[in-house]
Structures are given as structure tokens and as C-alpha cells.
Amino acid sequence: MFDATTILAYKADGKAVIGGDGQVTFGHTVLKNNATKIRKLHQGQILAGFAGSTADAFNLFDMFEEFLAARKGDIVKAVIDFSKAWRKDKVLRRLEAMMIVLNTEHIFILTGNGDVVEPEDGEIASIGSGGNYAIASARALKKHAEMDPENLVEESLHIAADLCIYTNHEIKTLTLTKSTQ
């Protein structure tokens, strides 16, 4: 995990939601509080979030966007091709970075090691230094509270921010619904 951020993704009830905090750190110093680490890709049909260096994020988002375009938005084929290319590239595979990508049907965690992980439950994934706090919170809230997906992601990230010094309360979320795909 990276001492960089917290990204949480959740899909349920025909919605896909991704959220991230806004804190950017350099070592033990906060450089920025309101960064955006999530974005919509492929004409707003795919959500993506990133943990790692900001410059690396832009390169990997652009690279993944190219694979989505080549695969006409097929997220499953795009993540496989993207992960192969990421793993084979001598420079990119050394990046300390992870991504979450999702739509209303699939959710994946991607790494430079070539990992393509679809969570066992197929609903919740997290990355970053506060990722374990966020996913534990999301699982508990899903089980014990009646919350819509946006509120569940936001509240889980706030809980993570209370516990992880590399995560703050400047939470941003993006949402897709089946009708927007």
C-alpha cells in the first residue's frame, strides 16, 4: 500500500461510485489538501481512481483511456491488455502505483505487477494507505446501515480519514448509473 491516498469504489443498485480524498503528501508533509484523484474515462462510461505519484497517474489514465478506445469501451478486455502493457514496460512497471477502474458491471484493481483483481464480492474495492480502513467501513455500513452507494462511499472515506494520517476529509466522488452507460 502507498502512503499517498485512499480510493474506494462500490457498485450496487445499478450504480457505480468511486471516491477519493484530496490529500497529497511528500514524505510526512502535506503539499495539497484538495487534489482530485478520480476521473471519468471513455466518454463518462468508466470510473477510475489512482494511488501513487500524480505524474504517474496522468500517464496511466491516458494509457488506459487508449486501451478503452481500442476495445470500444469493453472494460474487461481493456484491463487485460492494459495490465499486460503496464507489466511489460520497463519504466512503467517500476511505478509505485495502483488503479481502480469500474463501471456498473465490473470493478478491478490494477497494478504494475500485472495484477488484474476483481474483488471476491464483486462490489467493493479500495487502494491506498487508508484503503483497509475504507473497505472495512464500507463492508460494515453495507451490512448494518441502509445507505445509497454515494453516501456509503463518502461516509467510509470519512471514517478512513479519521484513522489514516495520509487521508483527509476533502472527499470527492463520481457516480455512474446503468442509464449513463
Catalytic residue numbers read 5
Residues paired with 110 in a beta bridge: 99, 116
Taking the chain, what is the end-to-end CA distance rounded to the nearest angstrom?
31
Of the candidates 134, 166, 171, 163, which has an alpha carbon nearest to the alpha carbon of residue 26?
166
Q: Helix (H) and strand (E) counts for the chain?
A: 4, 11
3-class SS of residue 137? helix
The DSSP result for 6-75, as a single string, is: EEEEEEETTEEEEEE---EEETTEEEES----EEEETTTTEEEEEES-HHHHHHHHHHHHHHHHHTTT-H
Distance CA 155, CA 150 (A): 9
